[in-house]
Amino acid sequence: MATENNHIALMFNDIAPTYDKLNHILSLNVDKSWRRKAVHRVKKAVSGVEKPLLLDVACGTADSTIALAKINDNVRVNGVDISEGMLKIGEEKVGKLGLNDRIIFSVSSAENIDFQDDIYDAALVAFGVRNFSDRETGLKEILRVLKPNGTLIVLELSEPQNIIIRWFYNLYFKHILPFIGKCVSGNKEAYRYLQKTVEKFPMPKEFIAMLESCGYSEIKHKALTFGLCRIYQAKKV
């Protein structure tokens, strides 16, 4: 697990400088609205909490972390990621926005979160869970650090089910995306990896069963943009 995480971290370190730009180009900016929807769910989940403490797992360059910190002025966020390169870009963005006093980053894997039990009101994993080298261990770790009644929101890319949309999706993901990825980041493999991880990611029924087996309850799921992305919501009871 550690070796695989090292390999993944090195790959994200390599693409970190172009990650944000490519994300927005490759998704035609739709990734922003997907993140907004996920953050809105976190906001609703913690609406009754006076000073919410939030965890952003696999926070990368901190777009999701910053959006969480902006829920309201009382929110505090811990962002964790295995890639120092991604976190460095995130830290720069947070510094420019003057949010240093409300966001703390640490290099930590989802499979071994360096925080005590039962402290977070909610956790978000945006486009990160499919990268976990041991998904069940990561999900159980997040459950451990959530407070009872805490909420997990997972946002993840997925293969669309509709045959026609899937045809265009395959053309785009298997051919166009690695090409653009290589041109902009210089790393074609990283964008092939993206396609492979989406292909391997479980379909909703299976992922919901995994969340249940990891100990989560009240699991909900919603497909976004023809099923190109999905939001999962689950609780620790």
Ligand X SMILES: C[S@@+](CC[C@H](N)C(=O)[O-])C[C@H]1O[C@@H](n2cnc3c(N)ncnc32)[C@H](O)[C@@H]1O
In the complex, the residues that contact ligand X under the rule CB under 6 A are 5, 8-9, 12, 35, 58-60, 63-64, 81-83, 86, 109-111, 126-128, 131-133, 138
Q: Name the minimum Å distance from CB 22 to ligand X.
A: 10
Q: Name the minimum Å distance from CB 164 to ligand X.
A: 27
| 46/194 with CB nearer ligand X | 194
| 20/163 with CB nearer ligand X | 20
| 93/147 with CB nearer ligand X | 93
Q: Name the minimum Å distance from CB 39 to ligand X.
A: 10
Which tokens in the block code for residue 3? 């070796």
> Which residue has the CB atom at the shortest distance from ligand X?
60
Do the Cβ atoms of 59 and 105 come closer than 8 Å? yes
Q: Name the minimum Å distance from CB 20 to ligand X.
A: 8
| 120/237 with CB nearer ligand X | 120
- Among 37, 100, 33, 41, smallest CA distance to 66 is for 100
